[in-house]
Amino acid sequence: MSKQEPQYFDLDIGEILDAWMPRHAVREIIANALDEQALTGTIDVVISETPSGWLIRDRGRGLRYAHLTQNEDAEKLSNSSKVIGKFGFGLKDALATLHRRRVEVEILSAHGDITVIERPKHGFPQVPTLHAVIRAPNDPPTSRRAAKRARRAAHLARWADERTNRID
């Protein structure tokens, strides 16, 4: 993947979950991080406030754009007592909710950096849907940093207004 040319992955999401607030989306992102920790046995998930927003970080295997499809996850199904999610709905719903609430999201992974934008659906220019924008990792892993970068981080920044600063 070239740094100059991002790829666009249609999340096939229009207007859904109108009642969801940023706190519901953050809950889903935290659940994904906890699932990855449970499956890989990595260190605890870190949730912290940074100068630019909130950071939710796990030290798992890294998010790939294929994880943005909704399907049964065989690994999660075979470890259902350890995990919260199983079908891939939560992350897409979280991204859609945060985008609708004007909360900027950046997912940093060893496999690529992911943000979201609204674009016309391929072949249907009158139908806007949410797309993941996948770019080459901003800081590709080196042999020394591979373990550090092989993680998934959802950086929740720039809250839309005073109320969303409280994640509600």
Q: Which helix (H) or strand (E) holds 37?
A: helix 22-40
Q: How many CB atoms lie within 10 A of CB 49?
A: 9
The number of domains in the chain is: 1
Q: Specify if 168 maps to a domain.
A: no
In a domain, 2, yes or no: no
The pTM of the full predicted model, rounded to 2 decimals, is: 0.74
Q: Name the residue range of residue 117's domain.
A: 7-160
Let me know how long the chain is: 168
Q: Is residue 59 part of a domain?
A: yes
Contact 114, 134 (CB under 8 A): yes
Residue that has been written with the tokens 């199904």 in this structure: 77
Q: pLDDT by residue for the chain (168 residues), tens digit each?
A: 555 788 888 887 766 677 889 999 999 999 999 999 999 999 999 999 888 888 899 999 988 888 888 777 888 889 888 989 877 778 888 998 999 899 988 988 889 999 999 999 888 999 888 899 999 988 654 432 333 333 333 334 333 333 344 444
